[in-house]
Structure 1
């Protein structure tokens, strides 16, 4: 049945439009992938550790008498400067004088006995020469003389010892220095070797610090400096001494660092800070572990270049740390992809996840 003329005309207009709509549409271009990135920040690969200590003298001696007795005088106080050989304190010398006089009397008696024994030997030799005395009698006289000679020698040694002990009644400084402590007062009875005062000798000064047992590795191969709290002056320092065993209570090791102070600003007892620096001073970058890619040719990272295209950059991994890799071979300010690097390819255009990164 033929269609009416108006409907036929409408179909003639719609058929071309339907045919055009049924044709396949061209596929839209695929958008570049979005990547997470981070800026490279270079910094030296060093670690600084700081420990608080006290300025001390390298040589600090506790001075005491070499004999016992009652101390009658102390001639210095804390803070006084002394010279080597200067008298610091005195003991009552009465008993020591008596001992020296007794030893001198023993020497005189031994000399007299030796002289008498020598005279007897001479008399015996004369009698034996005229056959008035036997050889055994002369031999006995000679033995008596030799014994007297030995007693004289012993008496002389005792006399010398008594004189020395009399001299020990005066306590003298063992070196130039400053008195840092006093342990006895005049009128006190002290025994041989009891501490009387403490003397810090002039010369090299040091800083004494306590290092925890877990940080002893900081002492190996690192540079050290000493800073005074009083004025902030900093000096190069060198490790001079470390204790072979830890303190039983604190579990720390006593360590001493020596330093030169030509201006004389450091004073004994001042507080100082010892800084220990370890590591490589060359600038390195710290990246997340997910940023490093190794496809068999060594470690590399993807760097976002101009136009948003990726470049595969070889790097050197200096060490692996907790959650990060310390690498060299990058420049300050470069942008590195940190996630999904195994799905990327060189020269691939990408978009940044955030313009703030």
Structure 2
């Protein structure tokens, strides 16, 4: 069954790119040129080599760094959604938890004056705790009153949006009405050696935090009794209760861990990429993109890593595809939407594959 799901996810990606090629042809663009530009923009194809460039400079260029930068936040939001899915919950409030975590991280980063080795970790920990606490309320309401977490978490998104809007203007106002105060350099997750390694990209320590989170989530879910209990509650509440598991506690903890991952995504984005919070735009799109990443990644931590890499590649390369091949950036969103659509219809594809296997075996037996 797991092999079938992997094949379905791979098929969804292939179909997404095929439909994207058809759209390019229909709008008068060359698909080969378009996808070549996409890969160049993401740093996978060499488009310029300067005199004196080493193989490291060519392979680990700024555009590839930007792909990793785009991927980093998606890994964490995808993990947040996937962890909740695996424990029987649908955390659609990742955007709000990410925003709250990012605000707390920015507050600590802007207001405190500490050495880097204390300041940056403290800001990240504050963001993680903020995301976890923000997710605790939907978890409690689900555990105590069986109120569906989709309703409460999506409402919490808008509460977080307007709370942060108010708190930024009240306690963390920057140079402009729509921006928070910029964090101190000691709280930033950017480090010079990484920037230099990727020739000026903003890729930062958050990349390593995201990779560590992938391994940690996999270990919790697959190798610990705690993870087994969380998944068991998600599969069957009544059987878990009969087996003596603390169902309500596990629901709340699962939601809080999911929120903690979202809060870490907020830290990585607002401390490592933007350095402040802009309150004019809507909720962070990465929170909702995490749902697509989790779906395509089959709610598996390593699948999420691969799916976020694919989406990061497409987002990073879309601008160059537009400027070099004239293909609208919106096409990338169309391709992602198609991939998600085909991933969501996985049951249909699986039934087709099973039927094909049965026909194949029957024909083989007839021979």
Q: Which structure has more helix as a fraction of its residues?
A: 2
**Greater C-alpha radius of gyration:** 1
TM-score by structure 2 length? 0.17
- Give the structure-1-normalised TM-score: 0.18
